[in-house]
Amino acid sequence: MAAFLDVAGAEKRFGSTTVLGGVDLAVARGEFISLLGPSGCGKTTLLRMVAGLLAPDRGRIVLDGRDLTTTPPHRRDVSVVFQSYALFPHLTVAENVAFGLKARRRPAAEVAATVARFLGLVQMAGFADRPIRALSGGQQQRVAVARALAVQPKVMLLDEPFSALDRKLRETMQIDLKRLLRELGTTSVFVTHDQDEALTMSDRIAVMNRGAIEQFADPVTIYRRPATAFALGFVGLSSRFDGTVTASEGGIITVATPAGSLRAPGRFLPGSPVVLGIRPERMALGDGADGPDRNGLDATLVEVAFQGARAHLYLAVGGGTVVTVEAPEVPAGAAPGAPVRLSFAVADMLAYPADPDPALLAAAA
Amino acid sequence: MRRRIDPVALLALPAAAYLLFAYGWPLAALLVRSVHGPGGFSLAPFAAFLSDPFSWRVIGNTLSTAGLTTLVCLAVGYPAALALAWSRGIVQVVLLLSIILPLSVGVVVKAYAWQIVLRRDGIVSQALVGLGLWSEPQRLLFTETGLVIGAANVFLPFMILPIYSVIRLLDPRLRAAAATLGATPLHRFLRVTLPLTLPGIVSGIAFVFSLAVSMYVVPSLVIGDRYQTLATLTGRAFLFMRNEELGSTTAVLLLAMAVSIVVGSTALARRLGSTG
- Domain assignments of chain B as residue spans, ordered by start: 50-275
In this complex, do B171 and A131 lie within 8 Å of one another by their Cβ atoms?
no
A76 in contact with chain B, both atoms CB, cutoff 8 A: yes
In this complex, do A78 and B180 lie within 8 Å of one another by their Cβ atoms?
yes
A90 in contact with chain B, both atoms CB, cutoff 8 A: yes
Residue in A closest to B172 by C-alpha: A86
Of B177, B185, B275, the CB nearest to A90: B275
A182 in contact with chain B, both atoms CB, cutoff 8 A: no
The pTM (predicted TM-score) of the whole model is: 0.83
CATH number for the domain formed by residue range(s) A5-231: 3.40.50.300
Under DSSP, the state recorded for B139 is -
Min Cα–Cα distance to chain B from A137, Å: 17
In this complex, do B181 and A151 lie within 8 Å of one another by their Cβ atoms?
yes
How far is A162 from A138, CA to CA, in rounded Å? 9
Residue in A closest to B196 by C-alpha: A90
Instruction: Judge: domain B50-275, CATH 1.10.3720.10.
Output: yes
Residues of chain B found within 8 Å of residue A71, distances taken between Cβ atoms:
none
In chain A, which among 100-129 make CB contacts under 8 A with chain B? Answer: 100, 102-104
Contact, A254 vs A263, CB < 8 A?
Answer: yes
In this complex, do A88 and B180 lie within 8 Å of one another by their Cβ atoms?
no
How far is B196 from B167, CA to CA, in rounded Å? 8
Residues of chain A found within 8 Å of residue B276, distances taken between Cβ atoms:
89-90
A131 in contact with chain B, both atoms CB, cutoff 8 A: yes
Tell me the average pLDDT across B182-208: 94
CATH number for the domain formed by residue range(s) A237-364: 2.40.50.140
Residues of chain B found within 8 Å of residue A72, distances taken between Cβ atoms:
179
Task: Please list the pLDDT of chain A residue by residue as tens digits (365 residues).
Answer: 579 999 999 999 998 888 999 999 999 999 999 999 999 899 999 999 999 999 999 999 999 999 999 999 999 999 999 999 999 999 999 999 999 999 999 999 999 999 999 999 999 999 999 999 999 999 999 999 999 999 999 999 999 998 888 888 888 889 999 999 999 999 999 999 999 899 989 999 999 999 999 999 999 999 999 999 999 999 988 999 999 999 999 899 999 999 989 999 999 999 999 999 999 999 988 765 667 889 989 899 999 888 888 889 999 998 888 899 998 888 777 788 888 889 899 999 999 998 655 555 455 54
Residues of chain B found within 8 Å of residue A102, distances taken between Cβ atoms:
191
Which of A68, A78, A82 has the most B C-beta neighbours within 10 Å, making it the best mutation to test the interface with B? A82
Between the CA atoms of A143, A172, A218 and A147, what dihedral angle is there, to the nearest 10 degrees?
-10
Residues of chain A found within 8 Å of residue B183, distances taken between Cβ atoms:
74, 99-100, 103
In this complex, do A103 and B177 lie within 8 Å of one another by their Cβ atoms?
no
Query: Where do the domains of chain A lie?
Result: 5-231, 237-364
In this complex, do A147 and B183 lie within 8 Å of one another by their Cβ atoms?
no
- Which of A16-20, A352-356, B73-77, B91-95 has the lowest average pLDDT? A352-356
Which of B88, B170, B181 has the most A C-beta neighbours within 10 Å, making it the best mutation to test the interface with A? B181
Give the 3-state secondary structure of chain A. CCCCEEEEEEEEEECCEEEEEEEEEEECCCCEEEEECCCCCCHHHHHHHHHCCCCCCEEEEEECCEECCCCCHHHCCEEEECCCCCCCCCCEHHHHHHHHHHHCCCCHHHHHHHHHHHHHHCCCHHHCCCEHHHCCHHHHHHHHHHHHHHCCCCEEEEECCCCCCCHHHHHHHHHHHHHHHHHHCCEEEEEECCHHHHHHHCCEEEEEECCEEEEEECHHHHHHCCCCHHHHHHCCCCEEEEEEEEEEECCEEEEEECCEEEEEECCCCCCCEEEEEECHHHEEECCCCCCCCEEEEEEEEEEEEECCCCEEEEEECHHHCEEEEEECCCCCCCCCCCEEEEEEEHHHCEEEECCCCHHHHHHHC
* Backbone phi and psi for residue A32, each to the nearest 5 degrees, phi listed first: -110, 110
